[in-house]
Amino acid sequence: MTQQEFSRRLDEFLDAYNAEHGTTGYFRVTKKGELYYEKKLGFANKEERVPFTPESRFNFYSISKAFCSLGLLRLWEDGRLDFDVHPKVYVPEAEKLHPALTLRNMLLHVSGMPDFNQTPGVEKYGPGTPDRLRAVVSHLHEFPHFFEPETGMRYTNPPFAIGTMVIENLTGMAYEDYMQKEVFEPLGSETLTVHMPGKEIPYRVMGYELAKDGTVYPVLPNCEWMRGAGDVLGTADDVYLLHRVVTEGLLFRKKETLDQLFSRLPAGDFSFGCRRVPWHGKDRILHNGGSTGFRTYHQHLPQDDDLDIIILSNSGWGDARRQISEEIFRLYFGTETEAEKIELDKGYIK
C-alpha cells in the first residue's frame, strides 16, 4: 500500500472512530525517522476551541515511567546507583519494606509490593506530594504484598515514586530540577516538564471524561499520587525522543546502559519504563499511560521496520489506543490479523 493510500484509509478509520466514540487527540506514525502520517482530531481545549499544535502538551501518565527510568539510568551509568540493593540503601523511609525487595525488582514490576491505588487503605495517608510521599512510603510495609518478590508480575506505581526519592537523596536536587538538568535538557527538549501543584504549563491540553449520561466534561488532573510514575507532560516530539534514545543512543555514553534499559527478570516482561514483547511476530517496545482525562501510547518496532506509533488522546475513556494501533498495523503491513491483546491501564479501561 502506498503512503498516500495508507493516509487516506487511516483518516477514514479515525474519522469514523471519532464519530462513534468521541475520541480526540494527536496521532502520528514515523517511518525510519521520517514523518509518515499525522492527524489532529478535535481540540486541545473544546470550550475555547483551541486547536492542537506541535507545542500542545499532554499529560503522559505512565509514559512518565520511561523518563524517570532514564534519570535513574544516568546515575547507574555514573556508578552512583546500584539497582540490586534494597531501596533502604538510598531511602531510609523504605527500611521496613520486604527484605527481598531490590530497586530492580521494584522497577521491573515483579516486587509484588502494595500500590497506592490497588491496595485498600493506603489512601488514608493522603496525596503523594513530595514531602508527604516520604511519610506514605514509611507506612507501605503495613500493607500486604500481592506476592513474594520475583514470583509474579503486577504493575504498580510506588517503585517509581521511591525512585524519585532515590534521585533526590543521591543528588541533593528536587526531582523536577534533576530531570530538567540531567534528562530533559540533554535530550534537547524545551517542552518536557514534571508536573508540580500550581505550576503554570504553557500550551497545556485539557483532558475530558465521559459521564454516565454521555456528557463529556473537562478535567485538568493533578499528578500528586503519580510522582515519578505519571507526572511528566510534553509534546508528541517529546515522546519521540524515547525512540531516539533507543535508535541513536541519545543521552547515554555507554552501550551497557542501553542493555541495562532493556534488562528484565524471569518473573515478568517489563524492562525499565517499557515493555518489550512481540506484536504479530514483530519485536516491539511499548509503553502506555492512562488515567483521568488522558490516554497515551507509544510503540516502536525496531530493526528493519523502524516504525514508531504515537497516540496522545485527551479523551479519558475507552480502548482507542489498542484498536487504532491494530488498524495501523493492518493497513501498513497489509495483513489481516486477529487483534493481539495486551493489558493497558489496569483499572482505568471503561
pLDDT digits (tens, 9 = 90+) for 225-284: 789 999 999 999 999 999 999 999 899 999 999 999 999 999 999 999 999 999 999 999
Q: How far apart are CA 271 and CA 265, in angstroms?
A: 8
Residue 123: the pLDDT is: 81
DSSP state letter for 262: T
Q: How is domain 3-333 classified at the CATH fold level?
A: Beta-lactamase (3.40.710)
Residues 6+ apart with CB under 8 A from 338: none
Least-confidence region, from 23-32, 105-114, 180-189, 246-255: 246-255
User: For the chain, which residues make up each domain, given as ranges?
Assistant: 3-333
What integer is the mean pLDDT of 201-217?
A: 94
- Nearest by Cα to 107 from 253, 233, 264, 255: 264
Is residue 307 within 8 A of residue 31, CB to CB? The reply is yes
Confidence tier at 340 by pLDDT (50, 70, 90): low
Residue 350: the pLDDT is: 36
Q: What is the edge-to-edge ordering of all strands in the sheet holding 58-59? A: 58-59, 232-234, 193-194
R_g over Cα of the chain: 20
Residue 54: the pLDDT is: 94
Judged against a pLDDT cut of 70, whether residue 87 lies above it is answered with: yes
Confidence tier at 196 by pLDDT (50, 70, 90): confident
**For the chain, what's the residue count?**
350
More confident residue, 96 or 214: 96
Q: How far apart are CA 84 and CA 175, in angstroms?
A: 22
Least-confidence region, from 2-16, 115-129, 163-177: 115-129
What integer is the mean pLDDT of 157-183?
A: 97
Indicate the average pLDDT of the chain: 92
Q: How far apart are CA 186 and CA 75, in angstroms?
A: 14
Residue 347: the pLDDT is: 43
Is residue 58 within 8 A of residue 235, CB to CB? The reply is yes
Residue 348: the pLDDT is: 41
Confidence tier at 55 by pLDDT (50, 70, 90): very high
Q: How far apart are CA 273 and CA 64, in angstroms?
A: 8
Percent of the chain residues topping a pLDDT of 70: 95
Q: Residue 285's beta-bridge partner residues? A: 276, 300
pTM for the full model?
0.94
Q: How far apart are CA 25 and CA 287, in angstroms?
A: 18
Residues 6+ apart with CB under 8 A from 214: none
Is residue 229 within 8 A of residue 65, CB to CB? The reply is yes
Confidence tier at 349 by pLDDT (50, 70, 90): very low
Judged against a pLDDT cut of 60, whether residue 56 lies above it is answered with: yes
